[in-house]
Amino acid sequence: MTSAAVSASPRRKSRVRLSLARWAPIALIIAFILAAIFAPLIAPYDPNAQNLLGRMKSPGTLSRSFHYLLGSDELGRDLLSRLIYGARVSLFVAFSSVILSGVVGVLVGMLAGYLRGLVEVIIMRLVDVFLSIPAILLAIITVAVLGPGLMNVIVVLALTRWPRYARIAYGQTLSVANMPFVRLAAFMGASAPRILLRHILPNIIGAVTVVATLEFGLMVLFEAGLSFLGLGVQPPTASWGAMLSSGRNYLATAWWIATFPGLCLFLLVLAVNLIGDDLRDRFDPRSH
Amino acid sequence: MRRFFLRRIGQVIGTVFGVVTLIFFLQRLTGDPTYLLVPETATQADIDAMRAALGFDRPLFVQYLAFLKQIASFDLGRSVIQNIPVWDIIASRLPYTLQLAGGALLVACGLGIPVGVVLALYRDHPASRLLASIVLAAQSMPTFWSGIILIMIFAVTLGWLPPSSTGGIEHLIMPSLALGLLSMATFARITRTSLLDELSKDYVRTARSRGVPMTLLLRRHLARNASIPVITVAALEISNLLAGAVIVETVFAWPGLGQVTVQSILARDFLVVQGIVILGAFVTVALNLAADLLYSAVDPRIRLDGTRR
Quick: pLDDT tens for A225-275. 999 988 888 888 889 999 998 888 888 888 888 889 999 999 999 999 888
CB B52 within 8 A of CB B35: no
Count how many residues are written for chain B: 309
Average pLDDT over every residue of A103-109: 95
Amino acid code (one letter) for B46:
D
Taking the CA of residue B2 and the nearest CA in chain A, the distance in Å comes to: 23
The whole-angstrom separation of Cα B190 and Cα B156 is: 35
Contact state of A262 with B148 under an 8 Å Cβ cutoff: yes
Nearest CB to A252: which of B140, B156, B270? B156
CATH for the stretch A89-287: 1.10.3720.10
Contact state of B273 with A141 under an 8 Å Cβ cutoff: yes
Half-sphere exposure of B122 (CA within 13 A, CB side): 11
Paired with A67 in beta bridges are A62
Q: Where are the domains of chain A?
A: 89-287
By CA distance, what is B269's nearest residue in A? Answer: A144
CB A101 within 8 A of CB A165: yes
Question: Which pLDDT score, from 0 to 100, does residue B303 have?
Answer: 55
Contact state of A128 with B15 under an 8 Å Cβ cutoff: yes
The whole-angstrom separation of Cα A222 and Cα A228 is: 9
Residues in B closer than 8 angstroms to A217, CB to CB, are 140
Touching A: B residues 236-265, CB under 8 Å: 239-240, 242-244, 246-247, 250-251, 261-262, 265
The whole-angstrom separation of Cα A114 and Cα A76 is: 57
The whole-angstrom separation of Cα A78 and Cα A83 is: 9
Taking the CA of residue B117 and the nearest CA in chain A, the distance in Å comes to: 15
Q: Count of CB contacts below 8 A, A vs B?
A: 152
DSSP 8-class letter at B221: I
Q: In the 3-class helix/strand/coil scheme, how is chain A assigned residue by residue?
A: CCCHHHHHHHHHHHHHCCHHHHHHHHHHHHHHHHHHHCHHHHCCCCCCCCCHHHCCCCCCEEECCEEECCCECCCCCEHHHHHHHHHHHHHHHHHHHHHHHHHHHHHHHHHHHHHCHHHHHHHHHHHHHHHCCCHHHHHHHHHHHHCCCHHHHHHHHHHHHHHHHHHHHHHHHHHHHCCHHHHHHHHCCCCHHHHHHHHHHHHHHHHHHHHHHHHHHHHHHHHHHHHHCCCCCCCCCCCHHHHHHHHHHHCCCCHHHHHHHHHHHHHHHHHHHHHHHHHHHHHCHHHC
CA B181 from centroid of its chain's CA atoms: 14
Q: Give the model confidence (pLDDT) of B85-113 as tens digits.
A: 989 999 999 999 999 999 999 999 999 99
Question: Which pLDDT score, from 0 to 100, does residue B287 have?
Answer: 87
Q: Is B101 in the A-facing interface, judged by CB distances under 8 Å?
A: no
Q: Residue B308 — very low, low, confident or very high, per pLDDT cuts 50/70/90?
A: very low
Contact state of A229 with B196 under an 8 Å Cβ cutoff: no
By CA distance, what is A155's nearest residue in B? Answer: B29
Q: Which of A20, A132, A244, A265 to mutate against chain B (most B CBs within 10 Å)?
A: A132
Contact state of B149 with A128 under an 8 Å Cβ cutoff: no
Return the H-helix or E-strand segment holding B282: helix B270-298
The whole-angstrom separation of Cα B140 and Cα A21 is: 16
By CA distance, what is A222's nearest residue in B? Answer: B142
Average pLDDT over every residue of B267-279: 87
The whole-angstrom separation of Cα B164 and Cα B174 is: 9
Touching A: B residues 108-137, CB under 8 Å: 123-124, 136-137
Sign (positive or negative) of CA dihedral A267, A270, A274, A280 = positive
CB B191 within 8 A of CB B113: yes
**SS3 of residue B85 by DSSP:** strand
Residues in B closer than 8 angstroms to A8, CB to CB, are none
Residues in A closer than 8 angstroms to B253, CB to CB, are none
Question: Which pLDDT score, from 0 to 100, does residue B301 have?
Answer: 65
Q: Give the model confidence (pLDDT) of A138-175 as tens digits.
A: 888 888 888 888 899 999 999 999 999 999 999 999 88
The whole-angstrom separation of Cα A168 and Cα A172 is: 6
Q: Give the model confidence (pLDDT) of B163-211 as tens digits.
A: 777 777 888 889 999 999 888 988 998 888 888 888 888 888 888 888 8
pTM as predicted: 0.86
Question: Which pLDDT score, from 0 to 100, does residue A268 have?
Answer: 93
Compute the radius of gyration of chain A from its Cα atoms.
23
Touching A: B residues 268-287, CB under 8 Å: 270, 273-274, 276-277, 280-281, 284-285
pLDDT above 90 as % of chain B = 12
Taking the CA of residue A147 and the nearest CA in chain B, the distance in Å comes to: 9
Contact state of B140 with A2 under an 8 Å Cβ cutoff: no
Degrees to nearest 5, angle at CA B117 with B115 and B122: 95
Residues in B closer than 8 angstroms to A142, CB to CB, are 26, 29
CB A59 within 8 A of CB A69: yes
User: Is a pLDDT exceeding 60 seen at residue B75?
Assistant: yes
The whole-angstrom separation of Cα B208 and Cα A160 is: 48
Contact state of B246 with A1 under an 8 Å Cβ cutoff: no
Separation of first and last alpha carbons in chain A: 15
Separation of first and last alpha carbons in chain B: 14
Q: Give the model confidence (pLDDT) of B122-136 as tens digits.
A: 888 888 888 888 888
Q: Residue A65 — very low, low, confident or very high, per pLDDT cuts 50/70/90?
A: confident
Question: Which pLDDT score, from 0 to 100, does residue A132 have?
Answer: 86
Q: Which of A1, A137, A159 to mutate against chain B (most B CBs within 10 Å)?
A: A137
Q: Residue B48 — very low, low, confident or very high, per pLDDT cuts 50/70/90?
A: confident
User: Is a pLDDT exceeding 60 seen at residue A288?
Assistant: no
Q: Give the residue among A141, A140, A147 at the shortest CA–CA distance from A233.
A: A147
**SS3 of residue B16 by DSSP:** helix
**SS3 of residue B38 by DSSP:** coil
Q: Which of B90, B144, B201, B279 to mutate against chain A (most A CBs within 10 Å)?
A: B144
User: Is a pLDDT exceeding 60 seen at residue B221?
Assistant: yes
Backbone angles phi, psi at B8, to 5 degrees: -65, -40
Phi-psi region of A60 (alpha: psi -120 to 50; beta: other; left: phi over 0): left
Backbone angles phi, psi at B157, to 5 degrees: -80, -55
